[in-house]
Amino acid sequence: MTTNIETAAKTLTHFIGGEMKEGQSERFAKVYNPSTGEVTALCPLASEAEVNEAVEIANKAFPAWKKTSVAKRAEVIFNFRNLLLQEINQLANMIGLESGKTVSDAKGEILRGIESVDFALNAPHLLKGEYSVNVGGKINSYSIKQPLGVVAAISPFNFPVMVPLAMTSMAVAVGNAVILKPSERVPNSALFISDLWKKAGLPDGIWTIINGDKEAVDALLHHPKVYAISFVGSTRVAEYVYHEGTRHNKRVAAFGGGKNHMVIMPDADIDQAVTSFLGAAYGSASQRCMAISVAMPVGQKTAEAFVEKLKTRVEQLKVGAYNDEEADFGAVITQESKDAVIRSINESLSEGAQLCVDGRNPEISETDKGFYLGPTLLDGVTPEMKIYRDEVFGPARIVVRVDSLDEAIQLINDHEYGNGVTIFTDNGAAARKFTEEIEVGMVGVNVPIPIPVGYHNFGGWKGSKFGDGHMFGPDTVRFFTKSKTISERWNDSKQVESKTEFSFPSNQ
């Protein structure tokens, strides 16, 4: 937040009722270019009154969209998909400019987001109910799925496009009015795709952007006409959103943090495991809830071979600006994030971790003020250390050595988080044991990041997810609709019931 507003920074807006609207609260957050440290924009922070007004506008637009045929809604989704592809270069550059991730990484994010849009095109099929003829007494029974009304999505800074698309595409397709509250650190991407929705033919009021902080979040959680909340962020806030939302009788799916392990078995291809770990651990400056945080080699021989090769490869990684085509990853999102990662590294060293690669002072340039951190690799980390217990949202990755697969499984199952995990092995029996016994929501076998494709459900276990909803896949249809079961009978015109029945109806 700021009171000293930089004159060079542009002032952004909300998107309400099909129009860009200036904020009225007179509160703003600074939007940075992480690659330079410069303030590029001022993001308005909505008041409760502004949120309430946006909800009312969305609620008025909802009935007409609900009555729109599923074929027409799918046509709008298809138009939106094509516009995303047409504008992928501009959108990727915008993501890089405000999040710090490289342009190539941003393009990958957009394409993964489009998978969710593609899946939403299946809404006409997925909305089909069930029908039973003559369940008894010439009664036919059938079920239908109907949209909830106004629903909200609260998205994080690390995926400015992919996560909002995953949260909202199906919600729009099944007939809801959607309010997105993007991270105030990365508001430009959300405003840009708002314009694409309008060009695609989405009626005004069905897509809304409310920029804001906790005041806006609380207003959405408390508003009686917001019927569902999808959230992605830290575990602490996810738990708050879940409890506060359900306390106000909302359907909530809140996705939190992760501490994702990669188990490397003695029979694994070490070169493949090292290469997979590099991208999965350090991509996007490790600012992914599905990033691999922990390498867990099994046996000392495996650990020595793995760490020796990994250290050499980590030292070769290049950090640079979002538009540097040679950079492997870019800056972290803020100076505060950079400072927090450095604190985690320093604390781990004081607890006895061994520094293999030090990324605390990357050599970018003497004049660069970007929020850069080089890749850090720490060996000799134990489960008692804070850096193992906590999620570190930055390029500091750790090695925890274990003696057996059973020990690896037990340590992972004992951890607070249960988002993603993967094992590298050539042994089918070991892989099967691992996938059956591990208490984690998304599991990979010889896969670096076990994030599902858009038509499979996404969601972790334990402290990584609150609520029973999922973000990708068919469960999004259930989350954003309510079911209605109808029993009907049409009597012959001459047939009249002659006897009143008072016993409970049965099919006998």
Annotated catalytic residues are 289
* Distance of alpha carbon 395 from the chain centroid: 19
pLDDT bin (cut points 50, 70, 90) of residue 120 is: very high
b/e for 387-404, b at 16 or more Cβ within 10 A? Answer: bbebbbbbbbbbbbbbee
> pLDDT exceeding 70 applies to what percent of the chain?
96
Give one DSSP letter per residue of 344-386, joined into a string: HHHHHHHTT-EEEE--SS--S-SS--S-----EEEES--TTSH
pLDDT, mean over the chain: 93
Instruction: Kindly report which listed range (129-143, 338-352, 490-504) carries the lowest average pLDDT score.
Output: 490-504
Checking if the pLDDT of 3 tops 60, the result is no
b/e for 190-212, b at 16 or more Cβ within 10 A? Answer: bbbbbebbbebebbbbbbbbbbb
The predicted pLDDT at position 470 comes to 83
Looking at residue 284, what DSSP letter applies? G
**Domain edges within the chain:** 10-256+464-485, 260-445
Checking if the pLDDT of 222 tops 70, the result is yes
Instruction: Kindly report which listed range (13-17, 231-235, 490-494) carries the lowest average pLDDT score.
Output: 490-494
Sequence-distant (≥ 6) Cβ neighbours of residue 93 within 8 angstroms = 103, 106, 323
According to DSSP, the residues that pair with 181 across neighbouring strands are 154
pLDDT bin (cut points 50, 70, 90) of residue 162 is: very high
Sequence-distant (≥ 6) Cβ neighbours of residue 230 within 8 angstroms = 151, 152, 153, 154, 167, 168, 171, 252, 253, 254, 469, 471, 479
Checking if the pLDDT of 469 tops 50, the result is yes
The predicted pLDDT at position 5 comes to 44
The predicted pLDDT at position 493 comes to 67
Checking if the pLDDT of 144 tops 50, the result is yes
Checking if the pLDDT of 353 tops 80, the result is yes
> pLDDT exceeding 90 applies to what percent of the chain?
83
The predicted pLDDT at position 4 comes to 44
The predicted pLDDT at position 1 comes to 41
The predicted pLDDT at position 7 comes to 47
Q: Are 445 and 435 in contact (CB under 8 A)?
A: yes
CA-closest candidate to residue 163, choices 153, 171, 173, 172: 153
The predicted pLDDT at position 497 comes to 61
The CATH H-level superfamily of 10-256+464-485 is Aldehyde Dehydrogenase; Chain A, domain 1 (3.40.605.10)
The predicted pLDDT at position 494 comes to 65
Sequence-distant (≥ 6) Cβ neighbours of residue 112 within 8 angstroms = 162, 451, 454
Decide the pairing of beta strands 292-297 and 442-445. Answer: unpaired
Mean pLDDT of 28-41: 96
pLDDT digits (tens, 9 = 90+) for 242-275: 999 999 999 999 999 899 999 999 999 999 999 9
- Right CATH number for 260-445 from 3.30.479.10, 3.40.1260.10, 3.30.70.890, 3.40.309.10? 3.40.309.10
The predicted pLDDT at position 88 comes to 97
